[in-house]
Each structure stands twice: as C-alpha cells, then as structure tokens.
C-alpha cells in the first residue's frame, strides 16, 4: 500500500476534520482564532511531509502516483493554501458562525488539488476533480445572507454540473475506445493505434470538462459572476489554486492522450484545437477586462486571459517535435502557475483587507487614493498588477517569458505557432491598459468624498500575507532559476511516467 506516500494528503484530511471538530467544541469567543491555526498547522505539516518524503512510487493499489510532478503540485497546493488561510483569517473573524465549516471545506478542496496531480486512471481523475468542484460550490455560496453569494454558488453549480457531465461522458467514451481507464494502458493504445473517431470524441469531451476548471473559452461564462459574488477569500482560491487543478490535469491528460499520437494526422489536429482555444481565451479575457470598474470582476476577466497564456504552453507541449521542447513547455506552465497564484493571492490580500470597509468595497472608486489611506496595501496591489501585466522584475514576467520562449522554440518546426505569439503579445498590450487604470486610481486620485476615509488599520494576518506576497513577487522575479529547475524536473517526471 505504501501509505507513507499519501501522508501529506492524510494530514490535510485530518486538518479539515479537526477544523470542524474544534469549531464544535471550542468556546464561541475563541473559535475564530483557533480554527485558522488548526488549518494552518495541518497545511504546514503536509508541506513538510511533501518536501521530506521524496521517494517515487505508487500507493493505494496503484491508484496514487508519487513522482516529481505530483510532489511539485502538492508542495504548491500546500504553500498556497497556507497563504490563503492567513489571508482568510481576517475575513472569518468577522463571521458569527461557520468558522470550522469554512476552513474544513477549504482544506478538503486543497486535498482535491493535491490528489489530481497523483491520479493514475480516469475514475480517480473524475473523483478528485469533483472533490475540488463540489466544495467550491459550497464555498462560493458560503455567505448565506448575501444574495450575490447565493447567486454565485447557484450559477457555479449549474455550469459545473454540465461540465462534469461532459467530463464523465468523455471518460466513458475513452474507456469504450481503449478498453481501459488506466493512463498507462490508454497511452499504449494511442501510441499503437492513434486516434479513432470514438477516442477523439471522448478526448474532446474530457478536455471540455477541464476547460471549465481552467475558465477557458467557451466554458468561461461562469467566472465573472462567480468571482464577483463569492466571498473574497473564496474568489482568491477559485482564481489560483482551483484553476491550477484544471491545468495540472490538462498537462497530465495531454501527456497521456495526445503526445503519444504526435506526428499522426489525428495528433496534429489537436495543435489547431488548443491553439484556437488559447487565442480566443486570451482575447476574451483581456477585452472583457477593459471596461470593468469592479475590481473582483476585473480580476475575473484577467484570470481568463491568463488561462490563455497557460494554454499556449499546453499547445507547445502538443506541437513540440522533441521531448526537450515538451518539457520546456510544461515547465513554463508550472512556473506560470506558481507566479500567477502568488500574484493573485497578493492582490486578494488587499481585496480582503478593503472588504472590511463596508459595501461597495469592490468598486474601483474605493481604491482611489489608496496610497494615502494605506501605503502598504497600495504598494502590494501595485506590485501584483505589474506582475499580472508582466512588467520586470516581477514574477509574472518570468511566467510569460518562459511561455513565449518555449513557443518560439516549437515554432521553428511549426511556423504557424508564430501567430499564437502575436496574439499573446497583443494580450500583453491590452492588459496594460486596465491594470494601469487601477494603478492611476490608487496613486493619482484623491479618496472619494462619499467613500471610506481615514487610514486603514490592518490585522496581523493581513500584514503577514501582504509582506510575504511582496517579497515572493520580487524574489521569484529576480531569482527564478531555482523555481524553473524544480518545474523542469517535475515536467521531466511527467513525461517519464507517460508509459
């Protein structure tokens, strides 16, 4: 069984259960302070276990794979979840109930993110992804007294149910075409026989289900409304760690279903498919963000645009002629994920801090003159927006640079990929417009006369999250070699495990 290989997941599961238990037995006055500590300690222990327990192998009768790729994703999920718990602590202190349920659901969702990187068959894929999705439904509607939160949860549920149907039906068709649900057998079948109509349809439906998690066109319509209506810490989770689950599975499934068919007519068709989806996602996200004056809605459209950049990396994995180029494309996606979730969590640390100021806190007008009310929050949001735009020396630049670098490398053998580079460059230019508008509001405008006035007093948890985000954005942007080496080793393990 090799149960020591799933110790990180067990620690997160126990942490979620303890969070609920502590909330039930602790005195009401102490619940808001105790429960985040329980969740944080569980994630810290899980992160330590991921970093210490490094041997490769399978567990749970072969349904769980521990390799360099899964360890990278599990470490990313634990570290990001720990920062998310710190950010959420100031929000949950304002709740009169539900502290244990909030952190329990959050840890169960993070458990799903960890599991998706380790699955070895289609059934494990579906169950682990549904663990992320179903808990996200509840978290999106967690603020029960707010009609916007209830609406966000309902919209997420309806669209998510449809995407789950696509995914499950696609898995059934892949099983029907290959006779197996295990990744190794499916990969061998594709390498030997290529794509038939039934397998191509099944693979397309599986990818459609994963596009929903990634908020990629045409399954992106839920993101703006859900991001706007959900509680701010939940939006931070949906836009960072939840999104990573979709891209982790995209990389895994592409390496299983598409890469073995490279060079065949059926395999080459996937290049055009992913290229079109990436281009449309890029343009939709950036064009949709330009008129937005609600910050959470702006970040939602921005999240769609960033999904387009990561899909460019996935397209490189499919189009590359050599294993080295595929590894570079997958590594670029992983580095982009790390940079993006650090940037997003830093931005939402500011959003959560401003949410304590009253209704309308998501409006861009509330950010007017923010540097006068809180220089620290304004500086953190400035760095986050510059990182999202890809301005040096922020972490976001490294992700974009690596994606474009791998795209150019693959385009030497497939010149048509240069068109995707042009679309990506256009997306960078468009994004500068709406990011700079918000920066202008924070530094060039005076606080609104009818808005919150006076300095903003920050709780300790918010200060810690903001400082960690600032140092991480600059540190990863300047010293990115270590992160890239780790991502490249993880990508190498992904393709080594393909057979």
| Stronger pLDDT, 451 or 442, i.e. the higher one | 442
**pLDDT per residue as tens digits for the range 150-198:** 888 888 888 889 899 999 999 999 999 999 999 989 998 888 888 888 9
pLDDT at 499: 41
DSSP category for residue 3? G
What one-character-per-residue DSSP string does 84-144 give? HHHHHHHHHTT-SS-HHHHHHHHHHHHHHHHHHTTB-BHHHHHHHHHHHHHHHHHHHT--T
Express each pLDDT in 206-217 by its tens digit: 999 999 888 898
In this predicted model, which residue has the larger pLDDT, 237 or 357? 237
Q: How far apart are CA 125 and CA 118, in angstroms?
A: 9
Question: pTM for this one?
Answer: 0.93
Residue 35 reports pLDDT greater than 50:
yes
Predicted pLDDT of residue 497: 54
Q: For residue range 444-456, list pLDDT tens digits in order.
A: 888 766 666 677 8
Neighbours of 150 (CB within 10 A): 16
pLDDT band at 494 (very low <50, low <70, confident <90, very high): confident
Cα 67 to its chain centre, rounded Å, is 20
pLDDT (tens digit, 9 = 90+) per residue, 382-424? Answer: 999 999 999 988 999 999 999 999 999 999 888 989 999 999 9
Q: How high is the pLDDT of residue 314?
A: 94
| Neighbour count for residue 496 (Cβ, 10 Å) | 15
Q: Which helix (H) or strand (E) holds 4?
A: none
Which 8-state DSSP code applies to residue 65?
E
At 357, the pLDDT band (50, 70, 90 cuts) reads: low
Q: How large is the average pLDDT for residues 127-131?
A: 92
Task: Give the residue, 305 or 144, on which the prediction is more confident.
Answer: 305
Task: Please give the mean pLDDT across all residues of the chain.
Answer: 88
pLDDT given at position 77? 92
Omega within 30 of 0 (cis) for the link into 470 = no
* pLDDT of 431 above 50: yes
Three-state DSSP string of 328-355:
HHHHHHHHHHHHHHHHHHHHHHHHHHHH
- Whether the per-residue pLDDT at 307 is higher than 50: the answer is yes
- b/e for 182-217, b at 16 or more Cβ within 10 A? bbeebbbbbeeebbeeebbbbbebbbbbbbbbbbbb
Angle, CA of 428, 434 and 440, to the nearest 5°? 125
């Amino acid at each position: 069984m090799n149960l020591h290989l799933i110790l990180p997941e067990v620690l997160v599961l126990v942490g979620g259960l303890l969070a609920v238990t502590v909330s039930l037995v602790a005195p009401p006055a102490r619940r808001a302070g105790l429960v985040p500590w329980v969740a944080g300690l569980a994630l810290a222990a899980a992160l330590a276990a991921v970093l210490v327990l490094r041997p490769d192998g399978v567990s749970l009768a072969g349904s769980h794979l521990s390799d360099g790729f899964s360890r990278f994703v599990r470490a990313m999920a634990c570290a990001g979840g720990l920062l998310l718990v710190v950010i959420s602590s100031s929000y949950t202190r304002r709740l009169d109930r539900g502290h244990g349920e909030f952190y329990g659901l959050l840890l169960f969702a993070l458990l799903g993110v960890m599991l998706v990187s380790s699955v070895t068959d289609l059934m494990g894929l579906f169950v682990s992804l549904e663990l992320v999705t179903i808990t996200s439904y509840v978290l999106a509607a967690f603020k029960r007294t707010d009609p916007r939160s209830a609406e966000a949860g309902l919209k997420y549920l309806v669209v998510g149910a449809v995407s789950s149907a696509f995914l499950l039906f696609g898995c059934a068709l892949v099983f029907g075409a290959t006779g197996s649900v295990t990744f190794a057998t499916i990969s061998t079948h594709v390498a030997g026989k290529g794509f038939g109509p039934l397998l191509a349809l099944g693979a397309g439906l599986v990818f459609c289900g994963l596009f929903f998690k990634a908020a990629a066109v045409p399954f992106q319509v839920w993101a703006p409304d859900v991001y706007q209506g959900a509680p701010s810490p939940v939006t931070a989770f949906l836009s960072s760690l939840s999104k990573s689950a979709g891209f982790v599975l995209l990389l895994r499934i592409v390496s299983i279903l598409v890469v073995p068919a490279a060079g065949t007519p059926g395999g080459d068709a996937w290049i055009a498919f992913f290229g079109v989806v990436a281009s449309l996602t890029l343009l939709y996200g950036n064009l949709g963000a330009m008129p937005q004056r609600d910050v959470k809605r702006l970040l939602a459209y921005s999240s769609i645009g960033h999904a387009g950049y990561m899909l460019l990396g996935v397209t490189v994995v499919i189009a590359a002629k050599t294993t080295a180029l595929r590894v570079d494309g997958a590594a670029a996606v992983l580095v982009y994920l790390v940079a993006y979730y650090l940037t997003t969590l830093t931005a939402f640390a500011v959003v959560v801090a401003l949410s304590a100021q009253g209704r309308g806190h998501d409006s861009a007008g509330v950010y007017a003159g923010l540097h006068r009310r809180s220089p620290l929050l304004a500086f953190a949001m400035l760095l986050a927006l510059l990182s999202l735009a890809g301005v040096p020396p922020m972490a976001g630049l490294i992700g974009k640079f690596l994606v474009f670098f791998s795209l150019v490398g693959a385009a030497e053998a497939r010149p048509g990929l240069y068109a995707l580079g042009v679309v990506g460059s256009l997306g960078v230019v468009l994004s500068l417009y709406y990011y700079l508008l918000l920066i202008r509001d924070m530094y060039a405008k005076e606080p609104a006369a009818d808005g919150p006035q006076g300095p903003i007093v920050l709780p300790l948890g918010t200060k810690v999250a903001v400082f960690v985000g600032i140092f991480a954005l600059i540190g990863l942007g300047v010293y990115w070699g270590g992160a890239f080496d780790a991502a490249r080793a993880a990508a190498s393990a992904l393709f080594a495990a393909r057979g």
